[in-house]
Amino acid sequence: MVRSSPRDVVAEGLNMLAVMGDLAMILLGLVLGYWFRFKSGWVPARAGWWTSDEFQLPQFHEYIGLIVVGAIFLFLTYLYLDLYQVQNLLRIRRVANQVVKGAVFWLFAYLSLSLVLRFSPPISRIYVAGSFFSVVTCMLIWRALLYRVLRLGQIAEALRFNVLFVGWNSEATRVAELLQGDPHQPYRLIGCVPAPGGRFQNLPNVAIRQFAAYENLSAVIQTEAIDMVVLADVETSMQDIVSLSNQCERDLVQFKIIPSYFQILVSGLKLDSIAGVPIMGVTELPLDRILNRFLKRTVDILGALVGLLLATPIMVVLGIAIFAESPGPILFFQERVGRAGRVFRMLKLRSMRLGADRTDHIQQSTGREDPRLLRIGAFIRRWNLDEVPQFWNVLLGDMSLVGPRPERTYHSEQLSFRIPHYNARLASKPGMTGWAQVNGLRGDTDLVERVRYDLHYLENWSLWLDFQIMVQTFFKRENAY
């Protein structure tokens, strides 16, 4: 149970404003879709062979029912995507992502519905496509304007949840740094109190308040208007955890625990039971589901075919340049570790001098201005063109378009001992590009952080995330050398 306060009333009121505004923008977008298709004069009555639209243009009153059905369907989609959580009001990127994702789902679902059910008048496919663009545009403009208002000082403060830590460890430090460095998040870190017994596993090394004693927890909750208490100390006894949970329940604040026993794949944590006894553990990830694997593989095959078609002329030109500077093989084969530890031969355009691979074991990544690089090789790596032949690896099923980058066999074995959870990356096929790479974690960068980004990708996989990463790959080349 969470206590109610005047601030909560304000937050709920602003969230309701967002809901009402979204409904208005959805209806406006669908009406604009009708205008574009039937009244603007930009689309002929019968646009061509690709549409079965009737010659008789429907009147607006005949389309009102379809507009209402479409609006309800899209609104329910946004409800399913949890767009209307108060915490999302300050998360403009997440909101924009969910607006587009929900509209894409609505587009295909509404078109499919029109094929299964017969409406009178029939649903124009051009109307649905036009409505998709108008709804997304209206929603994004409205949400951007709303966000500009909500981020104002006093309003933003009313929307943030006050967080208090009990105990402190490395995970708490990471959370604190993220909260303090991201203005788009809905939490405000108030400070921390020692765990029961006055214990800190690690002393806080970030600028937060440290309250004197655990025994004063209830007073701190009241005076600081705490909304959420987070237990970070994993050495706390079960009796003290239960006592702390009961204390939070009495003070009407949320109680959370940082699951330090599960430092990887935490989004896959599920509560299950055996013979009626509750147990918690990592269950399945998104790519463990057959449907998701099928969808990802379908996109991989289509993308690889298109990629090979478009990349062939590029490989011919680059191959001539490589051979002119360093006569020898144009393609470079290298053993890499794939899904479930299976070794495969990965293709690359050769960007280094012949024999450079004999010193690969010395360093994990290619450094900036590596003397082994060809002049054309530096250009190829800067623009990720050395990876182009890997469309063939994708087509063969050894790789995916998007996923954790594969490592060489020797380095993979070494890193699995040096970096906690390194081999958890092998839960999916390696990718030509990945979430870590578009965030600048390539080349000679922090490997621990790179693994963390790879695991985040595995936990949060979706086709939409894959498409985002593929697009960002063309524009984000930080540390590409």
Contact 153, 162 (CB under 8 A): no
Q: What is the pLDDT of residues 12-31, one digit of tens each?
A: 888 899 999 999 999 999 99
Q: Whole-angstrom Cα distance, residue 428 to residue 398?
A: 10
Contact 318, 387 (CB under 8 A): no
Nearest-10 Cα torsion for 22, 28, 31, 36: -110
The helix/strand/coil state of 201 is coil
Contact 371, 342 (CB under 8 A): no
Q: Whole-angstrom Cα distance, residue 130 to residue 107?
A: 10
Residue 406 per-residue DSSP state = P
Residue 339 per-residue DSSP state = G
- In the prediction, which pLDDT does 288 show? 82
- In the prediction, which pLDDT does 112 show? 80
**Which positions of the chain have pLDDT values less than 50?**
1-2, 47, 49-50, 53-54
Helices (H) and strands (E) in the chain, counts: 15, 11
| pTM tops 0.75, yes or no | no
Q: Which residues make beta-bridge pairs with 209?
A: 191
The helix/strand/coil state of 443 is coil
For residue 301, CA distances in Å to 295, 297, 411, 465 come to 10, 6, 29, 17
Sign of CA dihedral 407, 411, 414, 418: negative
**How many Cβ atoms from other residues are within 10 Å of residue 439's Cβ?**
18
The helix/strand/coil state of 71 is helix
Contact 190, 127 (CB under 8 A): no
- In the prediction, which pLDDT does 477 show? 65
Preceding peptide of 329 cis, ω within 30°: no
Contact 150, 159 (CB under 8 A): yes
Contact 285, 461 (CB under 8 A): yes
- In the prediction, which pLDDT does 91 show? 86
Q: Whole-angstrom Cα distance, residue 481 to residue 471?
A: 20
Contact 343, 337 (CB under 8 A): yes
Q: Whole-angstrom Cα distance, residue 233 to residue 194?
A: 9
Which two three-digit tokens encode residue 357? 């691979």
Q: List, in order of start, the domains of the chain with CATH numbers.
A: 6-154 (no CATH), 160-261 (3.40.50.720), 290-473 (no CATH)
Q: Whole-angstrom Cα distance, residue 331 to residue 273?
A: 53
- In the prediction, which pLDDT does 1 show? 44
- In the prediction, which pLDDT does 99 show? 95
For residue 154, CA distances in Å to 85, 151, 159, 265 come to 20, 8, 9, 36
Contact 372, 352 (CB under 8 A): yes
Sign of CA dihedral 133, 135, 138, 141: negative
Where b means 16+ CB within 10 Å and e means fewer, 290-325 reads: eebeeebeebbeebbeebbeebeeebeebbebbeee
Q: Whole-angstrom Cα distance, residue 54 to residue 84?
A: 38
Question: Residue 69's closest CA among 115, 18, 11, 128?
Answer: 128
Question: Residue 202's closest CA among 149, 135, 260, 159?
Answer: 260
Q: Whole-angstrom Cα distance, residue 463 to residue 322?
A: 35
CA angle 155, 144, 13 (to 5 degrees): 40
- In the prediction, which pLDDT does 50 show? 46
Q: Beta strands 187-193 and 161-166: pairing type?
A: parallel
Q: Beta strands 269-274 and 277-282: pairing type?
A: antiparallel
Residue length of the chain: 481
Contact 402, 428 (CB under 8 A): no
- In the prediction, which pLDDT does 49 show? 47
The enclosing H or E element of 331 equals: strand 331-337
